[in-house]
A = this chain, B = another copy of it.
Amino acid sequence: MIMTGNPFADRDIISTLDFTKEEIEYLLDVAINMEDIAKNGSTLLSNKILGSIFLEPSTRTRLSFDAAMKHLGGQVIGFADWDKSSIKKGETLYDTFKVVESFADILVIRSEWEGTAKYAAEILDIPVINAGSGAQEHPTQSFLDLMTIKQERGSLDGITIGICGDLTYGRTVHSLLPLLINYDVNLKLISPPELKVRLEDKTILESRNVQFEEAESLDEVLPELDVLYMTRMQRERFRSEEEFLTVKNYYVLTRSLLTKGKIDLLVMHPLPRINEIEPDVDALPQAVYFKQPKYGLLLRIALLGLIFDVF
């Protein structure tokens, strides 16, 4: 199928489930050409304002959208200090969103509640980008993860990808799987028994005949992997500190463990990491997790430009 026209124009970005393989590839193809804008800037969005509302802690996603918009010549308004907003006076999300729409041309929203971005998209006329909603979705993270694999390996087909850590609560995992089903990949889903991949995710994988296997031991699976996607135990999603502590140190990737892996293994992580990858791994050529934010910037520049249809 050949794309005719830009499929992202004026579109909401809520869930990776909403995009076809052709659309995903289209986005990635544009993103890789954003190097010049990331370096030299542009005035493509010089009359546009991005409303940025972060109701959960964030460093990388918020700053990445901020930088992307500014590289495109646009402006950013919003807040990350939600306890200083009118939400503090009892204002509903509905009213807050309606008001931000009065001032902004696009809304980027992160929230601890699942469905917040979808809700915003339903009530607003401006495009909405989900920058992370609870344990549910984080589509721009998954797009950049896919871009990283593609750029660093050349292709996604025929490779074995291990996804390791908190597969129940991690929104980056839940968001990445619907992208991977479009490729001929072999998945190893590595987790403690109590944090296995969700049933709904398994159903998605099975519906597309994706080869996957669940495993508990990272050591055993590691030698087979072309990509290892480590994730953080999501302390903020656990019901108690005790529950969290039982799994906190379940997986810790060390230099010594990596000697068992393929020489061209890619080690990825959506970040932030806590202790699941030891710092001395950072210097190894396998570690690409600090390249991911760089791809993320290109990806978000591409996405904003496409939504406003300025390329």
Mark A residues whose CB is within 8 Å of B. 39-41, 46-47, 49, 51, 54, 57-60, 62-64, 66-67, 70-71, 75, 77-92, 94-96, 98-100, 102-104, 232, 235-236, 271-274, 279, 290, 293-294, 296-297
- A60: which B residues are within 8 A, CB to CB? 86, 99, 102
The dominant DSSP class at the A interface is helix
Cα of A41 to Cα of B47 in the assembled complex, Å: 5
Shortest Cβ distance from residue A278 to the other chain B in the assembled complex, whole angstroms: 12
- A59: which B residues are within 8 A, CB to CB? 79, 85-87, 91, 96, 99-100
**29 interchain pairs, CB-CB under 8 A:** A39-B47, A41-B46, A57-B83, A57-B86, A59-B85, A59-B87, A59-B91, A59-B99, A60-B102, A63-B77, A63-B100, A67-B75, A70-B75, A70-B77, A79-B80, A80-B81, A81-B84, A90-B272, A91-B271, A91-B272, A92-B279, A95-B273, A98-B293, A99-B271, A99-B290, A102-B296, A102-B297, A103-B293, A103-B297
B85 touches A57 (CB 8 A): yes
- A232: which B residues are within 8 A, CB to CB? 89
Beyond contacts A57-B83, A57-B86, A80-B81: 17 other A-B pairs, Cβ-Cβ < 8 A, are: A39-B47, A41-B46, A49-B67, A57-B88, A57-B89, A58-B86, A59-B85, A59-B87, A59-B100, A62-B79, A63-B100, A67-B103, A86-B271, A90-B272, A91-B272, A99-B290, A102-B294
Cα of A60 to Cα of B100 in the assembled complex, Å: 7
Closest Cβ neighbor of A295 among chain B residues: B102
Copies in the complex: 3
Residue of B64, B83, B100, B103 near A103 (CB, 8 A) is B64
Residue of B66, B82, B95, B273 near A91 (CB, 8 A) is B273
Cα of A81 to Cα of B100 in the assembled complex, Å: 19
- A96: which B residues are within 8 A, CB to CB? 59
B49 touches A84 (CB 8 A): no
- A51: which B residues are within 8 A, CB to CB? 63
A80 touches B84 (CB 8 A): yes
Cα of A80 to Cα of B83 in the assembled complex, Å: 10
A279 touches B58 (CB 8 A): no
Among A95, A96, A273, A290, max chain B CB count under 10 A is at A95
Shortest Cβ distance from residue A150 to the other chain B in the assembled complex, whole angstroms: 18
Cα of A60 to Cα of B84 in the assembled complex, Å: 12
- A67: which B residues are within 8 A, CB to CB? 49, 75, 77, 103-104
Q: A41-B47, A49-B70, A57-B85 are in contact. Are A90 and B294 (CB under 8 A)?
A: no
B99 touches A293 (CB 8 A): yes
- A80: which B residues are within 8 A, CB to CB? 79, 81, 84
Shortest Cβ distance from residue A290 to the other chain B in the assembled complex, whole angstroms: 5
- A272: which B residues are within 8 A, CB to CB? 86, 89-91, 95
Closest Cβ neighbor of A49 among chain B residues: B67
- A90: which B residues are within 8 A, CB to CB? 235, 272, 274
